[in-house]
Amino acid sequence: MPRPKKSASSFRYFNLSPEVIRLVVMMYVRFPLSLRNVEDLLAERGIDICHETVRHWWNRFGPLFAADVRRQGGSRMRAFRQWKWHLDEVCVKINGEMHYLWRAVDQEGEVLESYVTKVRDKKALRRHGSHEMITTDGLRSHRAAMQDLGNTEKQEVGRWANNLVENSHLPLRRRERAMLRFRQMKSLQKFASVHANVHNHFNQERHLIDRDTYKTRRSAALAEWQNLMA
């Protein structure tokens, strides 16, 4: 009986170890560092790679790692049925043209979805099951969208009610400055999606727990990251 073939490793054509590649992608996506910043930090640790290699690894492996993170957390997220969503958009200028980056987070700050549009449309977030309440700002287009979706009675609008999702834009804003802005809508969508999943993976809510608990959770998150696509 023939043996089942092993799936080919995604790292098989690369000279450096998967651990180094995971480290490079994590540093670039998780922290507000430029490509050359990552190159210099790695050089201090005896790893000599070009900043274009950082760009290549991020483009190739970033979406794969993000998909793996999302797949691992998908069953846990789908177990909840009574969610409170927070929905908000932020303006991002690409080549002088205004775009809108939409973000939805749950009541614990977990990013559910990030997507980019050229206009304020009525696209719904249906991937994560039913929700109990949707918190938005006072934008009129939100109310129109809720009416079309039949969610008017679930919409909540308040002066400070949507601070949770508005604060979730800050890490990406820092990345935008480090990257000297985005140049294509496609690249913004790609980075926002990967960044959201990496943020979820390492988000330990350190301001709500003691240091020992935080260190334990941080070590667990790093260990899980090292096993991605293993």
**Does residue 223 have a pLDDT over 90?**
yes
pLDDT in tens, 208-217: 889 999 999 9
**Does residue 29 have a pLDDT over 80?**
yes
Per-residue CA distances from 51 to 56, 122, 184 (Å): 9, 39, 20
Tell me which of 40 and 140 has the higher pLDDT. 40
pLDDT in tens, 125-183: 555 545 667 777 666 666 666 666 666 666 777 666 677 778 888 888 888 888 888 88
CA distance 181 to 140: 29
**Residue that is written with structure tokens 């919409």 in the block:** 155
CA distance 188 to 99: 10
> Domain coordinates of the chain in residue numbers?
18-77+204-226, 80-183
pLDDT of residue 8: 67
pLDDT of residue 153: 67
Residue type at position 189: Q
Domain 80-183 has CATH 3.30.420.10: yes
